[in-house]
């Protein structure tokens, strides 16, 4: 069985909390300082660092919620940007589920419909992080989404497999999530009314905007001398690649044209769909590889490859070299 782990970028949550609390904590800071954003940290190690840090504030009530509330897109890396690039809250949940492996190293989230409600829930593996680790994760998730939505509605239910750690924690959790919170449950879960799934995501994050702008510039070379239709295709392609459905029929459907019409538009540029796709992937790959905050696995997934090895082979075919050599 795969071992639960987290990205090195996530540990910045704890460093930021130590800063806000004016806690020197030299031993903890030293353990965190050498972690690069694309490093991995075993779940047990994260749990130990977290418990050691909150012990420095013995009178604090549910300090894990404050740690999670400090989340920023860079703490979750490319997963955060993929979620922010979605159109609706429902798409954001699906994007999280698809790319959760970037964060935990394994896929453990499930999206379930129950009557007029939908929930995202995590199987027992999250218990490996302890109640504090789970509290940080769900507080970060809810905070992340709240920042993207106008007048964000509360969840209808949040549950945890663990139990409150300190007196007053249960009330603090209910106040933070603004909904009923249950402990000792079979799953960690966040439940929403189904109508919430249509809430639009407004794309406010400046780092995401910069990433999308770089993507657009890279794709200009895939279809030179383009018109409005071609630019719409260029803007659509990164999302289709990241969702693993960069096919001509899927692109045509998203652009509200027939596959034959789309192919005819590409023919005016003297290329087929596959040639356009390879050319666009090459340009995007060069752009992503220039961003050292993205691991090679991140780049492979962003380009629609399920395995890094498949990306390596394709990149060598396109450029005559490997992604690693080009980055170096």
Instruction: Report pLDDT for 286.
Output: 87
What does the CA dihedral 13, 91, 186, 167 come to, rounded to 10 degrees?
40
Residues with Cβ within 8 Å of 268's Cβ and at least 6 positions away in sequence, in order, are none
Cα dihedral sign for 17, 19, 20, 21? positive
Q: Among 255, 267, 210, which residue's Cα sits nearest to residue 228?
A: 255
- DSSP assignment of 203-268, as one string? ---HHHHHHHHHHHHHHTTTSSS--HHHHHHHHHHHHHHHTT---HHHHHHHTTS-HHHHHHHHHT
Q: Is the model more confident about 164 or about 78?
A: 164
Q: Is it the case that residue 84 has pLDDT exceeding 90?
A: no
> Tokens in use for 226?
């383009």
Q: Which has the minimum average pLDDT: 65-69, 114-118, 243-247, 263-267?
A: 243-247
* 3-state DSSP assignment of residue 36: coil
Specify the pLDDT at position 215. 67
Give pLDDT tens digits for 200-217: 877 655 666 566 666 666
Tell me which of 162-176, 230-244, 268-282 is least confident: 230-244
Q: Does 1 score more than 50 pLDDT?
A: no
What average pLDDT does range 95-103 have in this prediction? 74
100-128 pLDDT, tens digit each = 766 776 778 889 988 899 999 987 554 57
Name, of 5-19, 104-118, 171-185, 253-267, the range with top average pLDDT: 171-185
Give the span between the Cα atoms of 59 and 110, in whole angstroms. Answer: 35
pLDDT at 210: 65
Residues 83 and 92 sit within 8 Å (Cβ to Cβ): yes
Contact 83, 98 (CB under 8 A): no
Residue 244, pLDDT score:
74
> Over the stretch 35-45, which tens digit does the pLDDT of each residue have?
766 567 888 88
- Whole-number pLDDT of residue 37: 65
Share of the chain above pLDDT 90, in %: 32
Tokens of 73: 């897109």
Whole-model pTM: value is: 0.68
Mean of the pLDDT values across residues 72-85?
A: 72
189 - beta bridge partners? 121, 159
Nearest by Cα to 134 from 27, 22, 4, 3: 4
């Amino acid at each position: 069985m795969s071992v639960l782990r987290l990205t090195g970028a996530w540990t910045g949550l704890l460093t930021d909390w130590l800063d806000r609390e004016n806690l020197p904590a030299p031993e903890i800071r030293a353990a965190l300082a050498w972690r690069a954003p694309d490093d991995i940290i075993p779940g047990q190690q994260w749990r130990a660092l977290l418990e050691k840090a909150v012990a420095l504030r013995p009178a604090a009530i549910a300090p894990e919620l404050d740690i999670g509330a400090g989340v920023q897109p860079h703490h979750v890396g490319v997963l955060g940007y993929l979620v922010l690039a979605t159109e609706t809250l429902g798409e954001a949940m699906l994007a999280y589920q698809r790319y959760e492996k970037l964060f935990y190293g394994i896929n453990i989230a499930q999206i379930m419909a129950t009557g007029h409600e939908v929930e995202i829930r995590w199987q027992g593996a999250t218990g490996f992080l302890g109640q504090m680790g789970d509290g940080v994760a769900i507080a970060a998730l809810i905070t992340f989404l709240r920042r993207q939505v106008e007048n964000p509605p509360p969840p209808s239910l949040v549950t945890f497999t663990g139990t409150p750690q300190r007196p007053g924690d249960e009330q603090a959790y209910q106040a933070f999530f603004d909904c009923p919170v249950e402990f000792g449950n079979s799953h960690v879960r966040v439940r929403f009314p189904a109508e919430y799934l249509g809430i639009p995501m407004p794309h406010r994050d400046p780092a995401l905007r910069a990433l999308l702008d770089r993507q657009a510039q890279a794709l200009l070379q895939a279809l030179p001398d383009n018109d409005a239709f071609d630019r719409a295709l260029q803007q659509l392609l990164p999302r289709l690649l990241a969702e693993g459905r960069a096919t001509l029929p899927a692109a045509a459907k998203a652009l509200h044209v027939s596959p034959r019409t789309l192919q005819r538009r590409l023919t005016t540029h003297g290329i087929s769909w596959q040639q356009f796709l390879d050319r666009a992937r090459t340009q995007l790959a060069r752009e992503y590889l220039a961003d050292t905050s993205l691991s090679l696995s991140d780049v492979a997934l962003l380009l629609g490859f399920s395995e890094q090895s498949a990306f390596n082979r394709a990149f060598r075919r396109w450029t005559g070299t490997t992604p690693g050599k080009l980055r170096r």
